[in-house]
A and B are shown apart, each in its own frame.
Chain A
Amino acid sequence: MLLAAGVAGLVVAMTMMIWRAIVGPSQYDRMLAANSLGTKIVLLIAVIGYLSGRPAFLDIAIVYALINFVTTIALMKFFRYRTLSRPLGPEAKDG
Chain B
Amino acid sequence: MSEIALQVNFGLNIALLLMLVAIGLAIARTRSLLAAILLMGMYSLASAVWLIVMDAADVAFTEAVVGAGISTVVLLGAILLVRAGPVRHNWRMTIAPAVLVLGVGGLLVYAVTGLPEFGDPASPTNAHVGRSYLIQTSDEIGVPNVVTAVLASYRGFDTLGETVVVFAAGIGVALMLGFGPRSNLPRAPAATGDHHVVLRVTAKLLIPLIALFAFYVQFHGDLGAGGGFQAGVILAVAPILHALVFGLRGTIAALPVRAVRSVATMGVLLYSGVGVVCMINGGGFLDYDYLFPPSVEAMIPPGLMGEPYHAHHWGQHFGIFFIELGVLLTVAATMVTIFYGFAGRAAEEPGAST
Nearest B residue to A23 by beta-carbon distance?
B26
Q: Mark A34-71, 1 if CB is under 8 A from B, else 0.
A: 10011001001100100111101101101110111111
Decide: A70 and B244 in contact? CB cutoff 8 A: yes
Selecting from B1-9, B266-274, B319-327, the interface stretch reads: B1-9
**A90 touching B42 in the complex, CB below 8 Å, given contacts A18-B23, A66-B210:** no
Number of A-B contacts (CB under 8 A): 224
Q: Which of A59, A68, A77, A92 contacts B220 (CB 8 A)?
A: A59
Interface size on B, residues (CB 8 A): 91
- In whole Å, how far is B21's beta carbon from the nearest beta carbon of chain A? 11
Mostly helix, strand, loop or mixed at chain A's interface? helix
Decide: A74 and B72 in contact? CB cutoff 8 A: yes
- The 19 listed contacts between A and B (C-beta, < 8 Å) are A8-B11, A11-B16, A15-B15, A21-B23, A21-B38, A22-B23, A24-B35, A34-B38, A57-B225, A64-B45, A64-B48, A70-B241, A71-B73, A74-B240, A78-B79, A84-B73, A85-B181, A85-B247, A89-B196
Interface size on A, residues (CB 8 A): 58
Decide: B52 and A48 in contact? CB cutoff 8 A: yes
**Could you list which residues of chain A lie within 8 angstroms of chain B, going by C-beta atoms?**
1, 4, 7-8, 11, 14-15, 18, 21-22, 24, 27, 30-31, 33-34, 37-38, 41, 44-45, 48, 51-54, 56-57, 59-60, 62-64, 66-71, 73-75, 77-78, 82-95
Q: Which of B52, B191, B339 contacts A57 (CB 8 A)?
A: B52
Most buried by B among A27, A51, A57, A67: A67
Decide: B186 and A86 in contact? CB cutoff 8 A: yes
How far, in whole Å, are A70 and B207 apart by their CA atoms in the complex? 10
How far, in whole Å, are A38 and B48 apart by their CA atoms in the complex? 11
- In whole Å, how far is A15's beta carbon from the nearest beta carbon of chain B? 7
Q: Mark B220-236, 1 if CB is under 8 A from A, else 0.
A: 10001110001000100
Selecting from B56-64, B158-166, B328-336, the interface stretch reads: B56-64
Q: List CB contacts (< 8 Å) of B178-227 with chain A.
A: 181, 184-196, 199-200, 202-203, 206, 209-210, 213, 216-217, 220, 224-226
